Amino acid sequence: MSTVASQKRGFGAVLWDYLTTVDHKKIAHLYLFGGGFFFLLGGLEAMIIRIQLAVPENDFVSAGFYNELLTMHGTTMIFLAAMPLLFALMNAVVPLQIGARDVAFPFLNSLGFWLFLFGGLILNLSWFLEGAPDAGWTAYAPLSVTSPGHGVDFYVIGLQIAGAGTLIAGINFLVTIINMRAPGMTYMRMPLFTWTTFVTSVLILFAFPALTIGLFLLMFDRMFGSAFFDVGLGGNSIIWQHLFWIFGHPEVYILILPAFGIFSEIFATFSRKRLFGYTAMVFATILIAFFGFMVWAHHMFTVGLGPVANSIFAIATMAIAVPTGIKIFNWLATMWGGRITINTSMLWALGFIPSFTIGGMTGVMVAAVVADYQYHDTYFVVAHFHYVIVGGVVFGILAGLHYWWPKMFGRVLHEGMGKLTFWTFFIGFHLTFFIQHFLGLMGMPRRYWVFLENQGLDTGNMISTIGAFFMAFGVVVMLINVVYTALKGEKAADDPWDGRTLEWTMASPPAEYNFKQAPLVRGLDPLWIEKTEGKGQLTPAEPLGDIHMPNASFLPFLMSLGLFIAGFGFIYQVDYDWAYILLFAGMAMTLGCMLIRSLKDDHGYHIPKDELEREAD
């Protein structure tokens, strides 16, 4: 049981290893492939949407199918692509950055991943079972309650299961960052990516319960005859919007804050300077998170909440621009006076600054209530949130993947292909979305299956569709790059970028126990400190000893599989009695696995000291 065992193994052995692993580095791989798969799926849906909207009154897809596509594009990209891809990076990097051997709860880490995967599978199996959800990713009641078929049921159950996984992952990172930091790694010495992961985890902890409640109410309304959102029976449909956005707005920050963390690492590393205004950056992050909970109603300016509520939420929303602006200027100041190396990773970070600034600009613009009466629910808003989510989050993920790929897989992604991906995707992105600001103001509402002829919307939509093909091309090149790198990629050094933080002190990829001895952290950018003092490596904070490791377990997979089966039971018990068998069997499986986990002591195993010493030779 050590890294030496990483000789050639059969496919079955590798598969079993990944199905049962509790190692944060392998779970990072799982999140990456799971999230990557759903990202491609969401991208495919986006391409069909753009083809449909290439010309006026197109009939490439039917109205019903189009609504399923737009719903699944949004849901998939937010819940099943962006979040897991960020979790991939968090899992791969955060324990290394704080000098930990793993996350606090390796078993839960694995459970979180499998819940996400099975939740995503349920959601997407709806395509083959009478149709996908079609009420938008926001699933506003009463449309979602009255939507015929089982589409929205799949949305409810799929997101509930995936959401549980996210909540578990969030709690896990919180505990990890609070408890598992190496000696000397105080809060104010934590790398920014760790900080943003920490703050994001707090946001997950407080925001996801609102979604969970909303989904439960919707589930009861659709499957068990309650009337929380049914106006005719005394319910209220606006409550859904509140619950959804109390979750939904923080969700935006859950996505963007880790991306901010990634950029902070990259700007510092490739400018060869410490992050400018570190303290301000940390507090700006916390402030954004705090304000993030007080602005949800800016998604609801046209709902009719009245001028007082609208004004308060408008001003709270504008306030968020201040800490965000601080971040942008601090990044610029980090580069100022530095020695900037431009590679693919840095290109994504540099592309982020203008793109995200435009997204932030339009963010302040949509906060101006009366202006928003025009923007709301049009392509202007579509443009705005794609500038934020693609220009911020997706650029961040891609920057982070190029930056940490060597650490995750031991190989460096191909630079030429990386740059080709960047330029096609970057140009395509602006081509696709910039014009949409104008389309919105010219009278094109969002979620329109067709737009009519002679309304002045033809050119803009055609440009937008052309841009989407550039983006798709970039993604295909990226895929080829990944395959090429896996087969023939250049082997990575331990510290390929002249890094500053702890993850660059160890092998690429690291040993399963990460740190043989916990490192002694003497300040911000601990590796950089040792480099400038001529040592180049960290002093161990403890003598070499046996390393306690957790055992692999198949239980997380089985628990999630149980909920997956029970999910179908919940969905189909409305129509068929046999579905109760699935419901009870699935729940029994999950609860049974939980019982086994509770009753059976699992003390893990130890890697003996002498084996570690032998490896060192």
Partner 1 sequence: MKGWTGKLRAFALLGFVALVLSACGKENLTALDPKGYGADQSLYLIILTTIIMLFVLAVVMIVYTIVLIRYRKKKGQEDYIPKQVEGNRTLETVWTVIPIILLLIIAVPTVTATFDLADESAASDSLNIDVTGNQYWWHFNYDGQEVQTSQDLYIPVGERVYLNMMSSDVIHSFWVPTIAGKMDVNPENENTMYIEAHEEGVYWGKCAEFCGPSHSLMDFKVIAVSPEEFDQWLNDMQNADPEPEPENAVAQEGQSLFEENNCMSCHAIGSSSASIGPNLTNYGNRSTLAGVEDLNKENLVDWIMDPEALKPGNKMTGQYPEVSENEAGKIAEYLLQLDETDITPESAGNE
Of positions 25, 50, 249, 376, contacts partner 1 by CB under 8 A? 376
- Contact window for partner 1 (CB under 8 A) among 133-141, 201-209, 393-401, 586-594: 133-141
The SS3 of residue 99 is coil
The SS3 of residue 307 is helix
142-145 contacts at long range (C-beta below 8 A, 24 or more positions apart)? 142/229, 142/230, 142/231, 142/237, 144/218, 144/222, 144/240, 145/218, 145/221, 145/222, 145/229, 145/230, 145/237
Residues 209-238 that bind partner 1 (CB under 8 A): 231, 236-238
Of positions 449, 515, 568, 570, contacts partner 1 by CB under 8 A? 449
For position 496 contacting partner 1 by CB under 8 A, the verdict is no
CA distance 22 to 550: 7
Minimum distance, C-beta of residue 365 to partner 1, in the bound complex (Å) = 4
Q: CA dihedral in degrees (493, 498, 504, 508; nearest 10)?
A: -10
For position 340 contacting partner 1 by CB under 8 A, the verdict is yes
Q: Which helix (H) or strand (E) holds 547?
A: strand 547-549
For position 187 contacting partner 1 by CB under 8 A, the verdict is no
Nearer to partner 1, 219 or 444 (CB): 444
For position 294 contacting partner 1 by CB under 8 A, the verdict is no
- Contact window for partner 1 (CB under 8 A) among 5-13, 95-103, 193-201, 374-382: 374-382
The SS3 of residue 57 is coil
For position 532 contacting partner 1 by CB under 8 A, the verdict is yes
Of positions 32, 132, 252, 369, contacts partner 1 by CB under 8 A? 369
Nearer to partner 1, 102 or 265 (CB): 265
147-154 contacts at long range (C-beta below 8 A, 24 or more positions apart)? 150/126, 150/571, 150/572, 151/68, 151/71, 151/126, 152/218, 152/222, 153/219, 153/222, 153/223, 153/570, 153/571, 153/574, 154/122, 154/123, 154/125, 154/126, 154/129, 154/571
Of positions 179, 374, 539, 551, contacts partner 1 by CB under 8 A? 374
Minimum distance, C-beta of residue 155 to partner 1, in the bound complex (Å) = 14
Of positions 373, 576, 578, 584, contacts partner 1 by CB under 8 A? 373
For position 184 contacting partner 1 by CB under 8 A, the verdict is no
The SS3 of residue 103 is coil
CA distance 204 to 106: 19
Nearer to partner 1, 195 or 570 (CB): 195
For position 438 contacting partner 1 by CB under 8 A, the verdict is yes
Of positions 208, 451, 504, 557, contacts partner 1 by CB under 8 A? 451
- The CA radius of gyration of the chain, in Å to the nearest whole number, is 24
For position 319 contacting partner 1 by CB under 8 A, the verdict is yes
For position 454 contacting partner 1 by CB under 8 A, the verdict is yes
Nearer to partner 1, 91 or 362 (CB): 362
Minimum distance, C-beta of residue 90 to partner 1, in the bound complex (Å) = 26
Q: Which amino acid is at 370?
A: V
Burial degree of 158 (CB within 10 A; 0-12, 13-18, 19+): buried
Is cis: bond before 142, omega within 30 of 0? yes
Minimum distance, C-beta of residue 536 to partner 1, in the bound complex (Å) = 14
Nearer to partner 1, 532 or 551 (CB): 532
Minimum distance, C-beta of residue 437 to partner 1, in the bound complex (Å) = 10
Residues 54-93 that bind partner 1 (CB under 8 A): 62-64, 67
For position 140 contacting partner 1 by CB under 8 A, the verdict is yes
Tokens of 102: 């793993």
Of positions 28, 90, 122, 314, contacts partner 1 by CB under 8 A? 314
For position 493 contacting partner 1 by CB under 8 A, the verdict is no
- Contact window for partner 1 (CB under 8 A) among 205-213, 244-252, 367-375, 387-395: 367-375
Of positions 40, 51, 272, 541, contacts partner 1 by CB under 8 A? 272
CA distance 184 to 526: 10
For position 4 contacting partner 1 by CB under 8 A, the verdict is no
Residue that has been written with the tokens 């705090």 in this structure: 290
**C-alpha dist (Å) from residue 374 to 60, 87, 259, 323, 440:** 29, 36, 30, 27, 8
Nearer to partner 1, 285 or 378 (CB): 378
CA distance 27 to 20: 10
For position 597 contacting partner 1 by CB under 8 A, the verdict is no
Nearer to partner 1, 346 or 555 (CB): 346
Contacts of 158 (CB under 8 A, 6+ apart): 119, 120, 121, 122, 123, 124, 126, 567
Q: Which amino acid is at 169?
A: A
The SS3 of residue 487 is helix
Nearer to partner 1, 321 or 479 (CB): 321
Nearer to partner 1, 245 or 278 (CB): 278
Of positions 3, 6, 179, 341, contacts partner 1 by CB under 8 A? 341
For position 303 contacting partner 1 by CB under 8 A, the verdict is yes
Minimum distance, C-beta of residue 369 to partner 1, in the bound complex (Å) = 4
For position 126 contacting partner 1 by CB under 8 A, the verdict is no
For position 427 contacting partner 1 by CB under 8 A, the verdict is no
CA distance 416 to 227: 57
With both helix axes pointing from N to C terminus, report the angle between 83-97 and 106-125 in degrees, rounded to the nearest 10: 170
User: Are the CB atoms for 407 and 508 separated by under 8 Å?
Assistant: yes
For 359, left (φ over 0), alpha (ψ -120 to 50), or beta? alpha
Of positions 10, 12, 304, 534, contacts partner 1 by CB under 8 A? 304
For position 361 contacting partner 1 by CB under 8 A, the verdict is yes
